[in-house]
């Protein structure tokens, strides 16, 4: 069996089902994988048993806590070298015990975020790679130590994976080499027959036509554009499926009546929500953070046979055959025009099939075998 992989994830397994989960499930098809997730302040259920895939939770500074005071204290603690060193010692001890108890010999470290890269010095000689899936230096307040960790991760990695043209340029500037360009994909079989699934009960009460968004509703979400668009076309229902950042709750209260916030839904339920909607949207702000994004949701929408209207926030969106609009008037007009056009969901599904995770991740699997 190929060498085991220890994947250091920036998100918990039970969080939004994204690239880390898809990547580790794929790699676990032919090798042992240990999914190392950050310990959050809120409790979560233990992940389901998956063959060749095991889990380990490590303590981290709670930079993403809901409470702003806790976030500020975490930022301060994370900037103090003695506390960082103490945390690394605790993490390393737990990781060493986990590797021994699971008989994971000669592993490869694959980092999904630079935050835990300091662990490398506790495991000298262990090769590592870095999956640069987002522009981590654009997420809110960034510490000097994180910038240093990012540079060290890029410089020392045996290879670096990236998801977009923007991130590839960033890696080259930082001296990363070699680079694997592996964009985001879709679990195609799960979404391709979404229209055959029963309509979710909560969706039955929402009038058609339905325009849907799935995913995080966070700082990069363009509330102003969405709300103005909804006011311009009140005959449309806008269905927002995904967790809302607590700091943005007040924005939710300002929503027009034809916007329906549904909260987070389990990943396994998403195909049914898409299968009973008429159009999908990605209303992201055009900011440095989103400029590097290759959204998983775009490929899930296409696999479900849904046309997409989005803001032109990234090169991947602008080059992906998506209808783009820069302001509310254009966005509303694009939605109406696309809904009037003859639909060819099968063409969208065929296009999305080329983005299946199995196809995209094969080069990563081969690269890990080179160690």
Q: pLDDT tens digits, residue range 108-135?
A: 999 999 888 989 999 999 999 999 999 8
Is pTM, for the whole model, over 0.85?
A: yes
List the structure tokens of 263: 């909260």
What is the model's pLDDT at position 366?
Answer: 94
Above 60 in pLDDT, residue 195? yes
Above 60 in pLDDT, residue 198? yes
What is the model's pLDDT at position 65?
Answer: 67
Phi-psi label, residue 340: left if phi above 0, alpha if psi -120 to 50, beta otherwise: alpha
The string of DSSP codes covering 144-208 is HHHHHHHHHHHHH-S-EEESSHHHHHHHHHTT--SEEE----B-HHHHHTGGGSPPPHHHHTSPS
336-349 pLDDT, tens digit per residue, is: 999 999 888 999 99
230-259 pLDDT, tens digit per residue, is: 999 999 999 999 999 888 989 999 999 999
Residue range 311-325: average pLDDT? Answer: 88
Residues 75/141, Cβ–Cβ less than 8 Å? yes
Residue range 318-345: average pLDDT? Answer: 92
What is the model's pLDDT at position 85?
Answer: 84
pLDDT bucket at 37, cuts 50 / 70 / 90: very high
Alpha-carbon distance 365 to 2, whole Å? 9
Alpha-carbon distance 122 to 118, whole Å? 8
List the structure tokens of 52: 């060749």
The CA-based angle 261-338-279, given to 5 degrees, is 30
67-72 long-range contacts, Cβ below 8 Å, gap at least 24? 68/247, 70/41
255-282 pLDDT, tens digit per residue, is: 999 999 999 999 999 999 999 999 999 9
Residues in CB range of 70: below 8 A, 6 or more apart: 41, 62
CA 337, distance to chain mean position in Å, is 30
What is the model's pLDDT at position 319?
Answer: 76
Residues 109/123, Cβ–Cβ less than 8 Å? yes
Could you count the other beta carbons within 10 Å of the beta carbon of residue 97? 11
Alpha helices in 3-157 (DSSP H): 19-27, 68-78, 81-101, 144-156
pLDDT bucket at 46, cuts 50 / 70 / 90: low
What is the model's pLDDT at position 84?
Answer: 81
What is the model's pLDDT at position 135?
Answer: 86
Residue 212's closest CA among 220, 221, 223, 203? 203
Mean pLDDT over the full length of the chain:
91
List the structure tokens of 242: 């995904």
Alpha-carbon distance 197 to 147, whole Å? 45
List the structure tokens of 279: 């159009």
Could you count the other beta carbons within 10 Å of the beta carbon of residue 126? 15
Residues 14/40, Cβ–Cβ less than 8 Å? no
The CA-based angle 245-59-99, given to 5 degrees, is 125
Secondary structure letter of residue 215 according to DSSP:
S
Strands (E) located in the chain: 5-8, 33-38, 53-58, 108-111, 128-132, 160-162, 179-181, 210-214, 237-241, 259-263, 279-282, 308-310, 323-324
List the structure tokens of 301: 């929408």
């Amino acid at each position: 069996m190929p060498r085991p992989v220890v994947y250091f994830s920036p998100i918990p397994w039970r969080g939004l089902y994204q690239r880390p989960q898809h990547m580790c499930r794929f790699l676990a098809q032919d090798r042992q994988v240990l999914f190392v997730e950050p310990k959050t302040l809120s409790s979560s259920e233990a992940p389901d048993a998956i063959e060749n895939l095991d889990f380990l939770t490590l303590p981290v500074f709670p930079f993403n806590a809901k409470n702003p005071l806790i976030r500020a204290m975490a930022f301060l603690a994370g900037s103090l070298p003695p506390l960082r060193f103490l945390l690394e010692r605790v993490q390393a001890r737990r990781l060493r015990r986990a590797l021994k108890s699971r008989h994971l010999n000669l592993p490869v470290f694959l980092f999904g975020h630079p935050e835990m890269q300091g662990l490398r010095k506790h495991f000298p000689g262990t090769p590592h790679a870095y999956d640069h899936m987002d522009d981590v230096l654009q997420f809110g307040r960034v510490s000097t130590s994180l910038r240093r960790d990012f540079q060290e991760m890029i410089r020392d990695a045996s290879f670096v994976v990236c998801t977009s043209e923007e991130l590839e340029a960033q890696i080259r500037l930082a001296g990363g080499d070699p680079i694997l360009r592996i964009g985001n994909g879709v679990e195609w079989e799960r979404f391709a027959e979404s229209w055959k699934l029963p309509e979710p009960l909560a969706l039955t009460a929402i009038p058609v036509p339905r325009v849907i968004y799935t995913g995080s509703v966070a700082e990069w979400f363009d509330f102003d554009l969405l709300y103005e668009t909804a006011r311009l076309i009140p005959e449309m229902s806008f269905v927002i499926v995904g967790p809302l950042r607590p700091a943005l709750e007040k924005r939710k209260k300002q929503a027009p009546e034809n916007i329906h916030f549904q909260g987070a839904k389990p990943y396994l339920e998403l195909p049914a929500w898409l299968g009973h909607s008429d159009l999908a949207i990605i209303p992201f702000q055009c900011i440095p953070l989103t400029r590097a994004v290759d959204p998983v949701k775009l490929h899930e929408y296409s696999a479900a046979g849904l046309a997409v209207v989005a803001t032109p926030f990234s090169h991947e969106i602008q080059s992906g055959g998506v209808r783009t609009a820069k302001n509310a008037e254009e966005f509303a007009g694009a939605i109406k025009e696309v809904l009037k056009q003859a639909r060819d969901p099968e063409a969208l599904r065929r296009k999305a099939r080329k983005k299946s995770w199995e196809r995209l991740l094969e080069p990563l699997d081969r690269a890990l075998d080179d160690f």
